Structure 1
Amino acid sequence: MNKHRLQQTIIDKLQADLVVAKDALQASHEAATHAESKAENKYDTRGLEAAYLADGQRRRVHEIEVALSSYRNLPVLSHVDQAITMGALVALKLAGKQRWVFLGPDAAGLRVVVDDTNVLVISPNAPLGQALLGRCEGDEVEVLVEGRPQHYELITVC
């Protein structure tokens, strides 16, 4: 799989998410400052709720901007015959099924499709990300998921 294309796909997805988040921020800001949001009595919290929503949208925009910056500055490295570090693309086998994960600096949980292959972005903060760091192709890792151990075999590291 082409890691340059993967990284660009992640960036493109984050840029699309940023457009949506900015639109939501603008709409929530307008709702918070609209005349109809002014409290009519001491129990009317529409304006306060709209302000909280606008603040949450502002934070989301900031998170996406930070993630975009992280991916734009992430060097694309080959991890063949090396221990897994940030930027590694790993094929894992779990219960006979193969799945691809990308160990990225941010945007954990993001799913993208590259060359007809689904890739899940994980971070080093996730239990699986922590377990993968420093491992090599052919290693096995165990991760507790909801109190149950799951055994992963590292098929390919690139």
Structure 2
Amino acid sequence: MLDMKKETVAQALLGHLKDEFEKAQEVYENSRGASQEADMAQEGKYDTRAIEAGYLAGALKKRVDELEIDVKMIEELIEELPQGKKVQIGSLVELKFNNQTRHYFITPTAGGTMLNVDGNGLLVISVFSPIGNEVLDLEAGDIFDVETGDITREYEVISVN
């Protein structure tokens, strides 16, 4: 396993999510403000600028709310990172597929996030993803399959931290 600590990875993920949250919050506030400006007033029955700006602001608000929940979930995870040899939420896992070894951080949220921690890349995967779901409760040396469409991929758990 890499010389990487899951506490460091979890803090890096939390920092990433907080940055995303702050940016999304700023974009939402700007969008909401723009949708309420006087120059957005309807100039004819086919002028839908204000309506479209309102829809955009609503979608951005939803993203802000989702990121806020993600931040809280990772903060809770950091308080109780798991210990042990079995893969759990909060585990750093090294998996081998097609003679390539990759590193993953298992979480309840933020799946698909790529992190660079101490010069090492890793992928955050959610327990709701195919790999995240199948790897739970496995130990180093275990092999598992993931079906994606017509293809079945075989993975080997190299290490769990």
What is the TM-score when the length of structure 1 is the normalising length? 0.93
Q: Is the 8 A contact 2:108 2:128 kept in 1?
A: no
- Is 1:58 aligned to residue 61 of structure 2? yes
Moved over 4 A (4+): none
1:157 aligned to 2:157? no
In the alignment, what sits opposite 1:78? Answer: 83
In the alignment, the residues of structure 1 paired with residue 55 and residue 36 of structure 2 have an alpha-carbon distance, to the nearest angstrom, of: 12
- Unaligned runs of at least 5 residues, structure 1: none
Cα distance in 2 between the residues matched to 1:153 and 1:101? 13
Tell me the TM-score normalized by structure 2: 0.92
- Correspondence for 1:25: 28
Does 1:15 pair with 2:18? yes
1:23 alignment partner, SS class: helix
Paired residues for 1:1-158 under 5 Å: 1-74=4-77, 75-80=80-85, 83-158=86-161
Cα RMSD, aligned residues only: 1.2
Shift, 1:78, TM fit: 2.1
Number of residues of Structure 1 aligned to a counterpart in Structure 2: 156
Tell me the distance in 2 between the aligned counterparts of 1:109 and 1:18.
16
Give, as a single letter, the amino acid of the residue that structure 2 aligns with 1:135.
Answer: L
Q: Which moved more, 1:146-155 or 1:58-67?
A: 146-155
Secondary structure at the counterpart of residue 84 of structure 1: coil
